[in-house]
Structures are given as structure tokens and as C-alpha cells.
Chains A and B, each alone.
Chain A
Amino acid sequence: MKVPIGWLREFVDLPVDSQAIADRLAQIGFPVEDITKRPALSGIVIGRIATLERHPNADRLLVASVDVGDGRRLNIATAARNVAVDQTIAVATIGAQLPSITIERRKMRGFESEGMMISADELALPAEWFEDGILQLNGDAHLGEDVVQWLQLCDDVLDVEITANRPDAMSVFGLARELSAAYDTPLRSPAGMEPVAPGGTDPQGVRVTLKSKDCTRFVAQRFSDVRIGTSPLWMRVRLALAGQRPINNIVDISNYVMLEVGQPLHFYDADKITGRHLIARDAQEREPLTTLDGAHYELKPRDLVIADEAGAQGLAGLKGGQKTEVTESTSAIILEAANFNGARVRRMSAALGLRTEASARHEKGLAPILTDFGATRAATLLAAEGATVHPALIFGASIEPLPPIRFPIGEVKRLLGFELEGEKIDAPLEDLGFGVTSKARDRLDVTPPLWRRDVTCAADIVEEIARMTGYDNVPAELPALAPRDISSAEYFVERTASRALQALGYHEIVSYSLHGARVLEKYATAGLTSLPLAEVRNPLSEDQRYLRRTLEPGFLEHFARFREPMKIFEIGHVFDPSGPVDEHAMAGFAFTAAAIDEPPWSDTHFLRLKGDAEAVIAELAGRRPQAQAMQLNGFHPGKTAALLIDERRVAYIGAIDPRLASAYDIDLEVYAGGIELENLPARVAPRFVAPSRFPTTQRDLAFIVPLEVTAAALETDIATAAGPLCKHVHVFDEYRGLQAGPDRKSLAARLTLGRDDGTMTDSQADEVVERVLSALHQKFGATIRR
């Protein structure tokens, strides 16, 4: 909210330095986002045009004699068109400081001008919001008075951020109240602002019926003898500094009061209200309304309207209607100062896509007392404009004091950690308008002021005391903790996985969990169907529609974009579309590599990938998984494996389907794997087996076996057949082709044999090999390749 400091000064004495004020506001919870610096201005006084003549030597120039008080007259030449005798205007005298120039004596076509008449531009006000030419003071000022001081033109403007719980501070006076408490200086109220006296009557006024519980209080007041015109300059300047464009005296007063007091107002042309009856009610289905800005709405019962007997005349708390609009010809007006349910206004505002200064205040839930403050303040300003003021009428709930809050003084120590008592507690609360009564030695009853409905419990009161005392003054200390033992295992699994992958040469990436249809298109291009995905209902853009189901699309995007061979990994959640979403933590890793010229039954890159996966899993689980061929969407049908521990899948690895890689325009081979972190068993400590003191002996054997016999199966069978003398079996080569025969292949394995109680002899080793050969021959018809 833009807050001219000059306006604040009307209610509270403040330091000169704008930054000091901004800092103080931040300390009490109102951060200042920006300070608009005003230029240095001086030497501008109020004058009256006494005489006006044509310049002797120039048709386009006029020469005025301007009375600046104390019998002083200044002769001033001007090219402006909107000047006339008897106008009150602002004059920059010789030596005056304006935003871009200093006024000096100068000759205009042989005539010596003793100053300059001022337009909005020269006061650094938005020229398009003010009259063309010379600024008109509308006669409301003393001749000779300093204009800069009078209009507080050199006071900066603060842009203050106000939190959602403080609609009471969404006004100049509300912030002035906070500052008066913060600086411990007196607060002056706006002229005329007070509670409305109940029991007022006005035979020619409107009757108001509140048919919806969402309008709780409605102050209506009639003003007659209204003359629509330009507002006084001081008001227009304040509105302009606050960022509000001046329109006419009635619109300006409603804006001025809203900015000053915080209560949005609406004025109706009294003669256009059908039946002199206003009704706050739900709109009818498809009820039409044209608002002040000319927009047409077809309303719904969800919308709260203020209607007369002919139909809806305005959207409650949002915008007035065109039919009852105040115009040039209006002579009597009805003021509306109403209190609405904030949630209702917010829902309407969202549904209609309409947000106004008024709704921004209403939707936060205003205090009902503000209706009174707004009405009485407006009445004072309208009276000054010459309107006849009739009694204000109150409809709806009366103003009830807020219930007192029990406040044990010990709460300060319990929640802030340090002791405060007596004056240190009472004074800041009382400065903010709270009523404080001592109920016992250690307990207060604290009654919030009518406008502080956000304060409802002891903790709220502690915050009031803390922010006035200053958060900086709360002593910092470290807690002495003995908290419950809560497992950090999930986090450490991710941390360990990240370190293991890093050590293996992988670089960590973080990609977006949301993606667009592009992924689906890539799968389609590759001739693959993609699995169903969880969807976001309200993405901001189409590339945020889907939740990733796996990490591979992120890897593929990365490889497509950065074309160098690289090893990357990502740890994050993936999402399945069930009920509506089921998420899992994954550690994915991938690399690209140039294809190696090798026989079709072998893939060295796959074995590298498998080695990396086994290393990471061993680090996480303390043991190595078993591999099993599997099919996986997006992966090569013959080069993909599930990795199992205790029969449970803990990871998958494989070559990316070359068609998919090609759909991403990646011309390298892509390999990827994913560790399903939630499926990993807890890490077990491996058990140490003391190595034998005796030498081992090795035998390399090449078996001809059927194609479907896997290396893992062969190793297991060899180990089983060989018995305890076989320390290790390791398949190290595979060959398919003529020498192996059709439907058969050769697998070469190295057996490491040894005894724990002595050196193994050749004949003992031969015995073991014979046993293995005969067992494998029986099982697979395996023969030895010579």
C-alpha cells in the first residue's frame, strides 16, 4: 500500500528521515518494499491573480499581476490558457527550487517576469491526473502560504506491505496508530471520525434490509445539496501521491476515506434508488448487472448484491452499478458503509475475476466499527464540500466489545524466554488500543480494541508485546534437547546414494517433476505406448501438465540438450496415477556412450552400468543383488534387468530402447537405471570369513550349454556341484557360433579351488572338476569345449 508520509504526519509526529520510519515499520511487522523519494521543492507560495493583460510584445503570452499576500504583487508572464482573474494558484517565486530548474529573474520578450505559475508537472505530480495548464487551488488557501509545506510535497511515499491478518492497518490512520505505539507518541484522530450515534432517523432516507447473513452491518446516510465538482487541491494531491487518480469530489471522498480509515464506501444517486429501499441479498440466477466501468455480468446466487426494488445495483464489497451512479446532475446521495463476510467477498472476487481496492480490504474481514468510522469521516468531508448532512442510519448488528482474553503474565517468559512485567507489558498494549485490567498478581485480562479481531488468544498478545518490545531484544539461546528418537534413515539413504553415485563419476541433476506432452510424443515417435500419468488439473502452462512417472525422460532431455557423453544421476520422487497419486523415491542414473564393436550377445556398457548399480546397492544394503532379465517400457527388450535382493526388486537397469533415444535425437547409446529406495532392505553388516592360509588353485573350463542357460545359473550349478572346496566361480567369457553348435553357446568359467586345512593337490582338484562336469552334463547336457 502506498502511504504518503505527509498524510501519516497528520496523525502522529514522526522523524524527518524516511528510512528511519521505514525501518521502524519493518521492526513492528510492516516491511516497506520501496520508498518513493520526492524531489526537493521550495519557494512556491499561494497567490491570487489580481489582473491579467495581454503581453505587449507577444500575442501568445499573458501578463498577470499576482497577489501573494502582505500587499506584495508579482508580475508574471504565462503561456497557459486556463488562467483568469481571481483564481487562486501556486507561484514559484524568484529563487524557487523546482524538480528540474531554479526560478530566476528573466525577460520574456522584453518583459521581466518575477516568477512562474505552477502546473502539476512542476510539483512532480502525474500531469495527466490534473488540469491542463495552471493548477487551480479552488480558493481554499491563504495568500503567501508556502505550498510545499502546506501540501507536504517533499515528504516521501512509502510502499508498505501489510500481512493478511491486519486489515485494520490497510489504511493511513491504521499505520499511524501502529507508529504512535512504536514511537510512544500521541495519536491524533481524523476529524469527525467516531462511532455513529444509534437511533438516528431520516424520513427521506433509505430503508435497508439485510437478507443475507454475509452483510452484518450497513450504515446508510443521506446527503443533499450536493454539488459535483473538483475536489480541493490538498485532497487531490494526497490521492495522487497514494496512487489514486482524482475524479470528482464524491468519488474522491470515498477513495480518500477508504485510504485513510480503511472502510470502503459507496455512494448512490439517492433519486435513482427504486423504492428508496436497499437490500443486501444473494443474486438471482442470471440476474443482470452493469457495473460502473460498463462491464455486464450475469450473476449467480453465489454473488452477494446490494439491490433496490428494481434489481441488483452493485456487487457487495466489489463494485457499484451503473444505474444508480452519481453523475454531474446528482444532487442527493446515499452513502453505504457496509460490513461483509470476507470469505464471501473473496469467493465472488475469484469467481468473477474482479479485484478492487475495496474487495482487497473486505476479503480480509473488516471490523464492523469501521463502517461507523468511514461514514462519520465522509460526512465531515462532504459537509466541507457544502453538502447538507442528514442523520446516519444503522442497519444490522450493533457494535459489541470483543471478549477479554485471559492472559497469564508467565506466557511472556514461556513463549519468548525472557521476563517482562508491569509497564513493559501494559504500555505497548494500551498504546495499541487494548484494554488491560489486572485480575491477579500474575494474570491480566486483555480486551482487544474493536478493530483488532485478529487477536484472540494469549499467543496473539505475546506477539503484540514482542513486536513492540522488539524481536531483536529477545535473547537468543540454544535449546537443551533430549527429543524422541526419530529415524533419519530415509534421508541418509538418499545421502549415501548421492555420495556413492558421485564417487562413481555421476553428476547430480535436478529436473522438474512436472512435464508436458512432449514426453508422450517422444514415446509415440519411438512407436512405444507410454504408461498413464498423474495429471495436474490447473497447470500454469502445458509443459507442467503431467507428473513424471520415471526419471528417464529427464535424463533423455538432458542428453538431447547437452550432447557430450556424460554420467548423470537424480534422486527424487516419481508418481503413479492411482488414487489420485502414488509416489516413490528413486535414485536414477544414466550415461551415454559410443557403441562398441562387439558380438551381439555381449554389451560391455551394460556390464559397466550393472557394476555401478551393484556398487551403489552394496553401499546401501550391504550386499549385492541378483539380476534377472525383464521387460520395461522404454528400455531395450533384450538388455534390461531387474536387480533383486531376497526376491524383491530393488532396482532396474538397462539400455534405453534405441528407438526412444533416436526420438530424442540422441545418436549415442543410452543406459539408465533406477534404484527403488523404499524397497531396499536395511543395510546389514557383511560377515568376515578368514581367508585360508593355504594356496588355492584355479581351473578354467569352457562349457557348451543350451542358449537359455544363464551365466548366473551356471555359476550356481558349478558351485553346488563343486561343494565346499570351490571358493569362487566366475563366468568370464561367452561364445556363440559354429564351434558351439546351433542353439548352444560356450560359457567359460574360472573355478578357484582350495582347502582350509591344507594345500589342495592336483588330483583333488581334478576330482572336483570331474564332479562338476558330470553334474552339468546331467543337468544341461553340457560338454567341455576343448
Chain B
Amino acid sequence: MSDLGQRLKQMQARFEDALAAAQDPKSVDAVRVAFLGRNGEVTKVRRAIGSLAANERPSAGRVINEAVARMEASLDATLRKREGKAFEAALEQSIDVTFPAQHPNVGSLHPIRRVMDDIASYFERHGFAIVLGPEAEPDYYNFDALNIPPDHPAREGFDSFYLSDDMLLRPHTSPMQIRTLEAFAPPVAVIVPGKCYRRDAVDARHSFMFHQVEGLLVGEAIHFGHLKGMLIGMCRELFGVDTDVRFRPSYFPFTEPSAEVDARCPVCQGSGGTCRMCGGAGWIELGGSGMVHPNVLRNLKYDPDVYSGWAFGFGLERIALRRYDIDDIRRFFENDPQFLEQLA
């Protein structure tokens, strides 16, 4: 027994020395392994129990266990002390938080997509589906079904690129009014963003390829007041909560009554003058709208006395030009990296 006690005492002394010498958490852990680990000194002492008489073994075990508990407590206390020192040093560091950030390699979205997605989100929130359609469409969808028969003077406004006698690149997104109403009976509520093409000479304000967003709502008891309500809401979302919106009578063969929609210029607040944003008009022309013409509904075999609805078609470039204060529509298709990164 005294032999075991002696060994225990010597081991504890060595443990205390080793612990005192351990100046950082890592060394403290090394001490733990050396003494309390699987092949550590304590294990060696425990093996000596086997040589004791059977009646001495339990008390010897207890003595060892008590010693181990003391050693563990002492290890933990030392470890906490050593760690505290490490934190002290860490806490003394100080950096210049205004130093430029290291940017991750993120890409960017085209400004047309941003405008398109914002409009889509607004309408989606109000229960509209967002559908897409083909860019090459026959005359029927572009014109005839929209109450623009051959020889109609309004066809003049749609100078189009033809692919065959009957097939053209759509000059507006309105063909999707017809496709949607062919596929779904009212009540339908959709918006259609997409590319359109017209044989316009390219300049700062015109492009032969551009984007439109079409809106269509047909059901029972749908009226012009609903058109105003939805479009005013859209403009306020795009241009600010105080935006005024103006509806002016106009003419489109596929709507009746028809209206042009203008938003009050967010820069000059309608005073015009030399304002660059609105070109001095005080208002920003967004595009056409109106109540779906009864002939369009009739063409699709819906009774215009039962169903009514409205539609609109706005140019996305026109909105984006104003929203980002861009000077030239061609910039949207030049894709200059500086342009893309700035508007990202």
C-alpha cells in the first residue's frame, strides 16, 4: 500500500511541475494526455493495483480516483487561466474597419430584367400569372385577331420584320392576349414580358428590338377604374409613392375605350422646362391601354355583354431609361461592362 502511495505522491509532484510549466492551452492538453491519457502515468499506477491483496484493492482504487479527480480539477483551472491569457492578447488587436472590402465575384442582372421583374412581382402579388410567348407570330395573332384586319390604317404603325408571307417578328406583345384567351376562359389575369421588333431606324430613343410588358385582365365586371387602379399602383412602385398618373384618350384597334398612360416626371415633378429626364414634357409616356375591344372577345367566342376586361402594353426600355437616368436606348444592347456593373 505504502509503495503505491509513494508512487502516487511522486506522480502528483511531477504532474504539478509539468502543469506549472505549461504556458498555453496546447501544453496544458499535452500534460493531460501524459498523465490522464490512455497510456498515461495514472494508468501505469492503476496497473499496480493488481499486485495488491484482494482486500486492499477497493481502498487503493478509491485513493487513485480521488487523486485523478484532483488532477482533472487542477487541469481545468489551469486551462481556463491559460485561455484567458490567449483571449487577452486577441482582444488587444484593433483594425481599421473603413478599409475597402474584398468583394466576392458576383455577377449582375441587366437593368431591363430588373424592371421586368419588379413589374412582374407587383402584378404577381395582385394575382396575375406571368406568361411568356413566341417572338415570331403569324399575322393572325399580331393583327387579325386583335381587330386589325388587312388594310386597316393602324397596321401602318406596326412596321414589322416579315419571315414569310404570314409570319413576322411580333411588333408588340399583344398576340399573347389572344393566345392566353384561347387557352383559358375568363377570368384570366396575366402579364407578358418579352421582346418585340419594329422596323424603326435606330437612334437615342428608338431601337428595332425592344421589350414590352403586356397586361390582360378579363372577367365579369372588370372596368376602366380597375385599369387605373392597377396601373397607378404599378407607377408608384416604380417611380415613388407620390407619383401622379395621367390617362389620355387615344386609339388602338384592340381596345375601346383606349388610353395613353403617362406618369408625372419624378425629377421635375411635371414642370418640364429643360428637364432631361422627361425631355421637358413633364410627363413620361409609358404606353397604351384600354378596355378590350368587344370584337376581340367576339373573335375568341366570348360574349362581350358578359365579359369585359382591360389590357395594356408598356415599353420596358422607356421605363428603364427614366428609372436609371440613362441617356441613350442603345446602351441597353451595347452591354458595356461599365454600364452593367454600375447598374448591378
Contact = CB atoms under 8 A, between A and B. Distances in A.
B106 A505 contact: yes
B192 to A, nearest CB: 9
Contact of A510 (B130, B156, B333): B333
Contacts, number: 250
A502 B106 contact: yes
B107 A501 contact: yes
Contact of A415 (B109, B195, B308): B308
Contact of A572 (B108, B195, B225, B226): B195
Interface stretch (B66-74, B85-93, B251-259): B251-259
B336 A562 contact: yes
A759 interface: no
B161 interface: yes
Interface in A452-477: 457-460, 462-463, 466-467, 471-472, 474-477
A566 B338 CA distance: 12
A763 interface: no
Contacts of B109: 498-499, 502, 508
Contacts of B188: 483-484, 486
A243 interface: no
Interface residues of A, number: 90
A31 B247 CA distance: 12
Contacts of B247: 471-472, 474
A477 B229 contact: yes
Chain B binding surface, main DSSP class:
mixed
Contact of B107 (A475, A507, A581): A507
B267 interface: no
B107 A482 contact: no
Contacts of B223: 413-417
Contacts of B250: 29, 163
Contacts of B341: 507
A564 B258 CA distance: 49
Contact of A558 (B126, B232, B335): B335
B161 A31 contact: no
B160 to A, nearest CB: 8
A581 B167 contact: yes
Given A165-B251, A503-B106, A540 B224 contact: no
B162 A536 contact: yes
A502 B108 contact: yes
A517 interface: no
Interface string B311-344: 0000000000000000000001101110011001
A513 B225 contact: no
A13 B205 CA distance: 38
B48 interface: no
Interface in A520-542: 534-540
B256 A459 contact: yes
A605 interface: no
A487 B153 CA distance: 36
A490 B132 contact: yes
The listed residue with most B CB atoms (<10 A of its CB), out of A418, A479, A558, is A479
Contact of A467 (B164, B193, B197, B257): B257
Contacts of A534: 136, 163
A26 interface: yes
B24 to A, nearest CB: 30
Given A471-B249, A484-B188, A509 B335 contact: yes
B337 to A, nearest CB: 5
Contacts of B153: 164-165, 342, 346, 363-365
Contacts of B333: 510-512
B29 interface: no
Interface string B178-216: 001000111111100101010111000000110000000
A564 B335 CA distance: 13
B239 interface: no
Interface in B111-128: 112-113, 117, 120, 124, 126-128
B217 A573 contact: no
Nearest to B247: A471
A346 B117 CA distance: 41
Contact of A494 (B106, B132, B163, B344): B132
Contacts of A459: 256-257, 291, 293-294, 304
B120 A537 contact: no
A106 interface: no
Contacts of B336: 562
A585 interface: yes
Nearest to B135: A573
Contacts of B240: none
Interface in B269-315: 291, 293-294, 304, 308
Given A27-B248, A539-B161, A491 B131 contact: yes
B32 interface: no
A31 B229 contact: no
B334 to A, nearest CB: 8
Given A471-B249, A479-B229, A536-B169, A462 B335 contact: no
Contacts of A501: 107
Contacts of B226: 417, 477-479
B129 A488 contact: yes
Contact of B151 (A346, A457, A562, A566): A346
B221 A414 contact: yes
B190 A486 contact: yes
A347 interface: yes
Interface in B219-267: 219, 221-226, 228-230, 232-233, 246-251, 253, 256-260
Interface in A71-126: none
B217 A479 contact: yes
B127 to A, nearest CB: 4
B131 A347 contact: no
Contacts of B82: none
B264 to A, nearest CB: 13
A373 interface: no
B134 to A, nearest CB: 6
The 6 closest A-B pairs by CB, nearest first: A417-B225, A29-B249, A343-B151, A463-B257, A163-B251, A417-B223
Given A508-B340, A585-B132, 4 more contacts: A478-B229, A487-B129, A488-B130, A499-B109
5 contacts: A163-B250, A475-B228, A479-B226, A483-B128, A509-B110
